């Protein structure tokens, strides 16, 4: 194999992992918010290994990820965790808005 464009690979694998995690949490988990929170503590490598079967990630990609230069790995690990944090915060905010809206509806009906 030729030289690896680590930046491009990092972007790709982080996106693959996030897409696979989205599919799992939204379509298969009982509670998507709990699902995202559970996986938020996993590393990029752990998530790639966990969700490889739900994505285009191959065993060869996992080996590349294991050999990725540390600084680039850390950057895309952080990118992934920032995205997960944003998703969780959005879901929590939307949940609060939904609960507040429902409380108002109930209060107006009293």
> pLDDT per position in the chain (110 positions), as tens?
469 999 999 999 999 999 999 999 999 999 999 999 999 999 999 999 999 999 999 999 999 999 999 999 999 999 999 999 999 999 998 886 666 666 566 666 66
Contact (CB, 8 A) for 37 and 88: yes
pLDDT of residue 27: 93
pLDDT of residue 94: 86
pLDDT of residue 44: 98
Contact (CB, 8 A) for 48 and 62: yes
pLDDT of residue 18: 95
The pTM of the full predicted model, rounded to 2 decimals, is 0.84
Token reading at 66: 């294991």
pLDDT of residue 106: 60
């Amino acid at each position: 194999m030729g030289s690896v464009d680590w930046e491009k690979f990092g972007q790709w694998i982080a996106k693959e992992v996030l897409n696979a995690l989205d599919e799992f949490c939204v379509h298969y988990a009982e509670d998507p918010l709990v699902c995202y929170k559970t996986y938020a503590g996993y590393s990029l490598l752990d998530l790639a290994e966990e969700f490889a079967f739900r994505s285009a990630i191959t065993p060869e990609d996992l080996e590349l990820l294991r050999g990725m230069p540390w600084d680039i790995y850390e950057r895309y690990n952080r990118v992934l965790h920032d995205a997960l944090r944003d998703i969780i915060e959005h879901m929590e905010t939307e949940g609060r808005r939904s609960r507040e809206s429902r409380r108002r509806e109930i209060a107006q009906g009293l």
